[in-house]
Amino acid sequence: MSTLLVILASVALVSLIAFTGLLFISLKEAFLKRTLMILVSFASGSLIGGAFIHLLPEALEQSGPNVFYYVVAGIMLFFIMEKFLYWRHCHNGTCSVHTFAFLNLIGDGIHNFIDGMIIASSYLHSHDLGVATTLAVIFHEIPQEIGDFGVLVYGGLSKRKALTYNFLSALTAIAGALVTYHLALIQSIEQWLIPIAAGGFIYIAGTDLMPELHKQFQLKDSVTQLVTILAGITLMSALKIFLS
């Protein structure tokens, strides 16, 4: 029971990272709009880096080349979900909230679910490994959550709703931890959840976020976007090296 309480406390701490957006909620609307594209660019780099540098290598180690079938399944799953969400929310020809905002929440929910699984399994192995893994997840989540907040606000949600929905998505980490602790199914679950999440992140970054960046044509904006995308990828690479 004490191990379970430590696991839940650690996962709850990670979930609170979702409120990183509070750093931006007090900003003036005009300034926030100027920074949204930077946050979207950073989110694109973080999603790409997270998928190709963190999720896919781990999935390959577990499942081998067959993992790419799950990645394709993830991409198609998110394509189907986007079609449904577009029909559901934009069937009258107008859409106040872009579908990629909801897709980002779904993808982030899967990602957080996996984080909860990894944290729980680490604590079940040893307390020290659990603490180290929790810190690693926190460092990984901070840039991700900053980008997520920007994506949700850019997608049409108010700042308050963006924080609330982002936190609710983060709570899936608790579900992942409980599933792992009680059912001990982490290996079989991860074999398909990790690559599907990776496929979802690749889909969001490649088909939703980056096309939005192309709507700005000025050289200064383009250079800023490129640098910010590379910053997101570089940070994910640095975390991979630092935590390995």
| Percent with pLDDT over 90 in the chain | 17
Q: What is the per-residue pLDDT across 78-108, written as a single tens digit (0 to 9) for each?
A: 888 777 765 444 544 455 566 677 777 887 7
Is pLDDT at 10 greater than 80 in this prediction?
A: yes
pLDDT at 97: 60
Give the pLDDT confidence of 199-213 residue by residue, as tens digits. 988 998 898 889 888
Q: How far apart are CA 235 and CA 108, in angstroms?
A: 18
Does residue 25 belong to any structural domain of this protein?
no
| In the block, residue with structure tokens 């850019």 | 154
Residue 27 lies in a domain: no
pLDDT at 163: 83
Residue-range definition of the domain harbouring residue 219 = 2-14+36-243
In a domain, 140, yes or no: yes
Q: At what angle do helices 186-203 and 29-49 cross, to 10 degrees?
A: 130
Is the residue at 21 inside a domain? Answer: no
- Chain-centroid distance, C-alpha 47: 7
Give the Cα separation of 147 and 47 in Å (integer): 9
Is residue 148 a part of any domain in this protein?
yes
Mean pLDDT calculated for residue range 17-26: 74
**Per residue in 143-177, pLDDT tens?**
667 777 777 877 788 878 888 888 888 899 999 99
Distance CA 187, CA 155 (A): 35
- Residue 26's pLDDT is 66
Domain assignment of residue 19, yes or no: no
Average pLDDT of the residues in 23-39: 71
When pLDDT is averaged across residues 61-76 and rounded to a whole number, the result is: 89
Domain count, the chain: 1
Give the residue, 130 or 224, on which the prediction is more confident: 224
Query: Of all residues in the chain, what percent carry a pLDDT higher than 70?
Result: 84
pTM above 0.75, yes or no: no
The answer to whether residue 220 sits within a structural domain is yes
pLDDT digits (tens, 9 = 90+) for 47-67: 898 889 988 988 888 778 889
Chain-wide mean pLDDT for the chain?
Answer: 81
- In whole angstroms, give the CA distance from residue 38 to residue 204: 16
Cα separation values, 225 from 37, 178, 208, 230, Å: 7, 39, 15, 9
Predicted confidence (pLDDT) per residue in 173-200, tens digit: 999 999 888 876 556 666 787 888 889 8
- Would 28 be classed as within a structural domain? no
